[in-house]
Amino acid sequence: MSNQAQVDALEHLLIAVLKSSVTNGLSLDHLVAKAQGSLLGSDGPGSPTEKAQAVSYLNHIAAIAGR
C-alpha cells in the first residue's frame, strides 16, 4: 500500500470522526484547537515550517468537516 493511500484513508477517517463528533455535540473548534496544540507542541513535527504546514493542513481538514 502506498503512503498516499494510507494518508487518504486516514484523512477520510478523520473527517468522518469530526463530523460525527460535531453531530454528537462536540465543538469542532475545540477539537481543532486541541490538535493544533499537539502539532505545535513537542508531539508535533520538528521544524517550525513543518509545524506551520501541518496546522495549515489541519485547518483545511476542519473546513471540509465543517461543511
Mean pLDDT computed over 36-61: 91
The domain limits of the chain are 3-65
- Read off the pTM: 0.82
- Is residue 67 pLDDT above 80, yes or no? no
Residues 28, 62: contact at Cβ < 8 Å?
A: yes
Cβ neighbours, 10 Å, residue 63? 11
Which secondary-structure segment (H or E) carries 60? helix 48-65
Per the prediction, the chain carries an average pLDDT of 92
Cα 32 to Cα 27: distance, rounded to the nearest angstrom: 9
Contact between 39 and 54 (Cβ < 8 Å): yes
Length of the chain: 67
